[in-house]
Amino acid sequence: MPGGRILFADNDETFRTTRARFLTGYDIVHASSAEEAEQVLQNQWIHLAILDIRMQDDAEEQDVSGLLLAKQDTYRSVPKIMLTGFPNYRDVREALGPLLDGLPPAIDFIAKQDGPEVIVEAVEQAFARYVRINWELDIQSNDRHPITFPSLVMFMETSLEGELLSQRARELEDLFRGLFYDKSQITLGRILWQRMGHVALTVFAFQAGTLPESFVVVFGQHATMLQATQRYQTFAPKTQDKLGTVLNIRKETTHFAVNAYTLVNADLESVQTLADFYKIVPDKLFHTSLEYLFQTSLTAWHQNKKIPENTKTLASLYDERFDSISYNALTEIINILRHQASSLDIYIEHDAEFLKVHIYGQVHTYPDPIRVLQRQPVIEQPVVLFNTPGTLSGDNILTDTSGQIWLTDFADAGLAPLLWNIVALEAIIRFDWTETSDLRALYDMEHSLTASSFSKLDMRDIAPPLRKPVRAIQMIRQHATRLVGAELLPYHIGMLYEAANRLARFNPNAHYPTSEMVRFIHILIAAAMLGEMIQRDQQHPTAGKTPEERGIRIDPDERAVWVDGVRITLRGQSFDLLCDLYNHANQLCTRRDLVERVFKQVYDETDRSQINRLNTAISRLRDQIETDPGHPRYLLTEPGGGYRLTLPK
């Protein structure tokens, strides 16, 4: 059985060394002052500390330097035994007093006059009751994803090396041995994600006579992990234990802390990150997971609570979230990217106010996206905050083929703008998951995303490799319109900040492969187009549109159709069907009416082919005129076998 490491701190060297000889089987680290003891606690992994209350002057009653060290919150996870040659009631009460969270300053209080057997017994009890490390735990690593504790530490503290790295690795290993104290074996699975000094991996735990258990274990540096835990406990919905991610066990050491989460109804071996899931499954399965995320997971977190933000603008809230954005650095980055673009058959000009893109023999002028951000775009509506799980990514969202979603990163949980998570998801798909190095194809995609109807995208000019992300974006936007309707300026502002945040990660001194350079130039072009949309929306806000612009308008002579002020293309039967419904707007049109007026057939209610043809035509028309065909605003189905085109009067 490995022995534990004990810090023995006392300015009386004779007492310290003689008592330490009785602590056989333990690794004793000596310190003669509070300062030395603190250095040990900072740099070494200590299981238990034995501290003299008076470590400066035994004769000075006011000397409580050891007690002050014991009370430091930084070292609260280390159990401590206090020593003194001059015990008094006040010191005992202060040392053993309870804390609301974590251990008290001391777990035991021993007079130096007591014999060595007292301190030996106190140490044994401390290891049994408070240290609680499973020295016999068999820790295995998945052969396909080999993991070592030094490598895990390097994810959190990249500059460590030598003995300090070894100490931290042992501390992290003991943290896992304590977390799974009642198990006989654990297998470290795969690393799911790493962010801001936090790492998440799957762990499978075994104990004879019980069913195997699986966990998503998130660990990181002590202070930031405690903050993440507090955010989860404060903001997570009460329904988490029924449909989501449940905090099962937590433990901490001096430098690290860990949370073990249980995923409700999950087979952790078949669960995948949303990023991996997106790559391998058909659109339908991916869209099912997105629907669950929006309708179940995020809805539960929002808790139907709207909190008005009266002191900050939407732009300032995004500035706080993306505090790494430096506008001066972005200017330098844009100049580098525009030079790189010329080698990829796209020429970009940039000055103080505009960014010009030369493509397809034409010049497209956009406002400088940096200037748009610096001018802090303003929306007329008050900013509303909702409870959110924090920053979502393709790696910290887990799913499976059933479509259920599990969230795993709560470091930023709390209040955020309504569209925060939805905008982030589109940005991930739009900027991170597009798989092409064809800048012209990416330009066409961005043109469709910014020039088409917001949630009914024109995909005719979209290259085949980009149709999957565009279809996913369309679904995300359909959900956004359910939340905010036609008030889209907040969405575009959020997307511009997402683009700028990615541009800010560009390293001017690094060498990038062509595919990654294309990605950054794509984001720059997207940012310019978004800046143009924001300026246009501010000059012509949706809220100022007339009722006619917010509905449907038809010019039968030109065979032209406008939906919410945006012209769309309808051909053949779809145009004829809409015209008939438009001419009978706000009236019930029966199946008989439509078959006879549009199809020019005698209606036969027993003819299933007529009904199927009409159903198909209605479905196709909804796809073309509704922002969310599953929740139509205009073309409604009426009970009893008819339809109604509902338009503003």
Nearest to 127 by CA among 19, 46, 221, 22: 46
Q: Does residue 306 sit in helix, strand or coil?
A: coil
Confidence check: pLDDT of 7 > 80: yes
Global pTM value: 0.80
**What does the alpha-carbon distance between residue 93 and residue 261 come to, in Å, rounded to a whole number?**
36
Other Cβ atoms within 10 Å of 161 Cβ, number = 11
In the chain, the domains with their CATH numbers are 5-131 (3.40.50.2300), 138-269 (3.30.200.20), 284-390+418-542 (no CATH), 547-645 (1.10.10.10)
Query: What pLDDT score was predicted for residue 222?
Result: 92
Strand partners, 366: 355
List C-alpha distances in Å: 16 to 7, 22, 181, 457: 11, 11, 31, 76
**What does the alpha-carbon distance between residue 22 and residue 17 come to, in Å, rounded to a whole number?**
9
Contact indicator for 468, 487 with CB cutoff of 8 Å = no
Amino acid occupying residue 632:
P
**What does the alpha-carbon distance between residue 359 and residue 512 come to, in Å, rounded to a whole number?**
23
Query: What pLDDT score was predicted for residue 263?
Result: 95
Q: pLDDT-derived band of residue 319, with 50, 70 and 90 as boundaries?
A: confident
Residue 415 burial by Cβ neighbours in a 10 Å radius (0-12, 13-18, 19+): middle
What would the two tokens of residue 170 be?
Answer: 């042992």
Query: What pLDDT score was predicted for residue 102?
Result: 58
The predicted model gives 249-277 an average pLDDT of 95
Which residue shows structure tokens 């205009």? Answer: 634
The predicted model gives 402-423 an average pLDDT of 94
Q: What are the pLDDT digits (tens) for 423-458?
A: 999 999 999 999 899 999 999 999 999 887 888 888
Q: Does residue 277 sit in helix, strand or coil?
A: helix
The predicted model gives 565-593 an average pLDDT of 88
**What does the alpha-carbon distance between residue 78 and residue 62 come to, in Å, rounded to a whole number?**
25
Strands 48-52 and 80-84, by their bridges, are parallel
Q: Give 340 or 631, the one with higher predicted confidence.
A: 340
Strand partners, 569: none
Query: What pLDDT score was predicted for residue 395?
Result: 96
Query: What pLDDT score was predicted for residue 62?
Result: 80
Q: Give 631 or 124, the one with higher predicted confidence.
A: 124
Q: What are the pLDDT digits (tens) for 207-240?
A: 998 999 999 999 999 999 999 999 999 999 887 6
In this predicted structure, which of 375-384, 472-481, 582-591 has the lowest mean pLDDT? 375-384
Q: Give 79 or 549, the one with higher predicted confidence.
A: 79
Confidence check: pLDDT of 1 > 90: no
Q: Give 1 or 424, the one with higher predicted confidence.
A: 424
- Percent of the chain exceeding pLDDT 90 equals 63
Mean per-residue pLDDT over the chain, rounded: 89
Query: What pLDDT score was predicted for residue 348?
Result: 93
Query: What pLDDT score was predicted for residue 71?
Result: 87
Query: What pLDDT score was predicted for residue 86?
Result: 63
Write down the H helix ranges in 414-488: 420-427, 439-451, 464-484
Please give, one letter per residue, the 3-state secondary structure of 72-91.
Answer: CHHHCCCCEEEEECCCCHHH
Other Cβ atoms within 10 Å of 257 Cβ, number = 24
Contact indicator for 330, 427 with CB cutoff of 8 Å = no
Query: What pLDDT score was predicted for residue 547?
Result: 44
Query: What pLDDT score was predicted for residue 544?
Result: 41
Query: What pLDDT score was predicted for residue 383?
Result: 86
Query: What pLDDT score was predicted for residue 543?
Result: 43
The predicted model gives 472-496 an average pLDDT of 88
For helices 489-503 and 420-427, what crossing angle results, to 10°?
50
Confidence check: pLDDT of 349 > 50: yes
Q: What are the pLDDT digits (tens) for 51-102?
A: 998 888 877 778 889 989 988 888 989 999 988 876 554 555 555 555 445 5
Q: What are the pLDDT digits (tens) for 100-111?
A: 455 677 888 888
Q: pLDDT-derived band of residue 546, with 50, 70 and 90 as boundaries?
A: very low
- Percent of the chain exceeding pLDDT 70 equals 93
